[in-house]
Amino acid sequence: MAQRITEEFVRLIPKTELHVHLDGSLRIPTLIELAKAGKVKLPAYSEEGLRKKVFKDFYKDLPDYLAGFGYTCAVMQNAENVERIAYELAVDHLAEGVRYVEVRFAPQLHAHEDFSMEDVVRATARGFERAQKEHNRSPDVKAGRDIPFHFGIILCALRFFNEYMSPYYAAISRVMPFAPRKQIIAAASQELARAAAVMKHELGLPVVAFDLAGAEAGYPAEDHKAAFQFAHSNFIRKTVHAGEAYGPESIFQAITDCYADRLGHGTWLFADEMVRNPAIEDPKAYVHNLVDYIASQRICIEVCLTSNLQTLPHMKSIAKHPLRKMLDHGLSVSICTDNRLMSNTTVTNEIMLAVKHLNLTQRELRNVIVAGFKGSFFPGDYTEKRAYVRQVIDRYEQLKAEHLK
């Protein structure tokens, strides 16, 4: 009989983090320190107080969950703070065995007259690069006892914003005062896509993908089709938050209108009862075909267990999460945190939830780990990525032989 999967083993094995928001993953002591220095008012100035009032174990709904971003974004308005937050996030990942991270954020939430979108990305890159150099120069990496750390940056367009969310959004709203909100939002997405192409191809910044985040219901992905077409045409990979708070049709739009290479969450993929389009005569067949397409195309799904449990009131327990069904259907899945601060979690914790509540087997764990590395938007070329994945597999098998019989 195979030995059970232990938390020690999960912490040791190389892991990926493909879905983590920079502004949702600050250390609380850092948030308090930066808030005091920048005169940002917080509801409490102790970790215990902020955990009780803002960053909770349980949230009433998605707006309650998102409220904390107002405080984190407020301290992320200059390069020094953003670089520090990025560095600490990389260090926290490294401490639990994560060896590849794709950190995502909406630079338009942090940009203003003295801090451009490019500045935001450069500051984030500097923080991660500092942690990367520290790790990759370590004796264990040089001796082959550990594998190198790599990272990429994903830029998030928003399905919805208003002029109160940042100086950038206020400015673009002023430039288009009489335009419909839908048109203003589409224009912001297109500007971000163009900026992503410049940063990646002309400036050499580690931008690896373009994302669409925010409320799904009432804000369809098709509104951002032009931005994703531009990203697609400029060899920028795409991931889309879809199926988190809306049904299979949102996932279909992510794939067909946004050319999604990966899917963020995909929680309601199997929910044929949520199909709303009356033109779809057989919702069950529609979902079956959608699932089969995602499986056959190896479109990786970025699953965030704790976050889903906190923001989706109908999901009563981890045991109800569709990850079990995703694995049974042979889908490519990577387990992620979404927001380490808001959900008070780590990649190790999320994997252990799947082990304990969804009966993740040793074989399935290996598949999930490898799928994360294979599904990554690795910043090097394909040959380099293959070599890195090989390193990961060899290291995994070595640790398995040492810790699991």
Active site residues: 244
Number of helices and strands (H, E) in the chain? 18, 8
Residue matched to tokens 């398995």 = 400
Instruction: Answer left, alpha or beta for residue 345, where phi above 0 means left and psi between -120 and 50 means alpha.
Output: beta
| CB 127, CB 153: distance < 8 Å | no
Strands annotated E in 122-193: 150-158
Retrieve residue 138's tokens: 């370590």
Tokens of 52: 């009780």
- 150-158 and 207-213 strand pairing: parallel
C-alpha–C-alpha distance, residues 27 and 95, integer Å: 14
Q: Rounded CA gap, 222 and 250, in Å?
A: 9
Amino acid at 207: V
